[in-house]
């Protein structure tokens, strides 16, 4: 797939990652997380929706597009020796997506859209993410989030 239809965000886990929210998942550029942030899977993101290319944003503004969020986590202490933990969440685009947030990105199981929303009608939320992957994030593992539009 060409780069105009893919965006990559690098972030890290945090000791307060719980992954318990039932309708959203979030990655934030904040470098902290309180226990109340039960949808947040990673912190200290190197990019936010406001950084995404105009071509990527335009492709996401079609309700018939499929947007895939792929989380890849290297377990802490594996030194690249262990297989990465991978989770894929699939949703769709929407004409109302703005990609204006300079703080965080959110995937939603609903069709609600705000400036942080990067996909709607997701097939999973934070609570559905593999518990081994969530545990690795709670240990501070690095994560690469790749968003792809088809």
**1 with 66: CB under 8 angstroms?**
no
Three-state secondary structure call for residue 148: strand
Residues 89-135 have pLDDT tens digits of 999 999 999 999 999 999 999 999 999 999 999 999 999 999 999 99
3-state class percentages of the chain: helix first, strand second, coil last, to nearest 5: 15, 35, 50
Distance CA 90, CA 69 (A): 6
Residues 4-58 have pLDDT tens digits of 799 999 999 999 999 999 999 999 999 999 999 999 999 999 999 999 999 999 9
Domains and CATH numbers, the chain: 3-149 (2.60.120.630)
Give the mean pLDDT of the chain: 95
Residues 130-143 have pLDDT tens digits of 999 999 999 999 99
């Amino acid at each position: 797939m060409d780069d105009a239809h893919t965006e990559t965000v690098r972030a890290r886990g945090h000791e307060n990652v719980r992954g318990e929210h039932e309708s959203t998942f979030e990655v934030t550029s904040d470098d902290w997380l309180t226990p109340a942030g039960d949808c947040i899977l990673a912190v200290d993101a190197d990019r936010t929706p406001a950084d995404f290319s105009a071509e990527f944003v335009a492709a996401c503004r079609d309700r018939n597009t499929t947007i895939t969020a792929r989380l890849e986590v290297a377990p802490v202490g594996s030194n690249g020796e262990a297989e990465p933990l991978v989770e894929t969440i699939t949703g769709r685009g929407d004409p109302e997506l703005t990609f204006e947030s300079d703080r965080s990105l959110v995937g939603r199981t609903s069709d609600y859209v705000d400036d942080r929303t990067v996909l709607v009608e997701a097939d999973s939320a934070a609570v559905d993410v593999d518990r081994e992957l969530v545990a690795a994030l709670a240990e501070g593992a690095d994560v690469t989030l790749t968003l792809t539009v088809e």
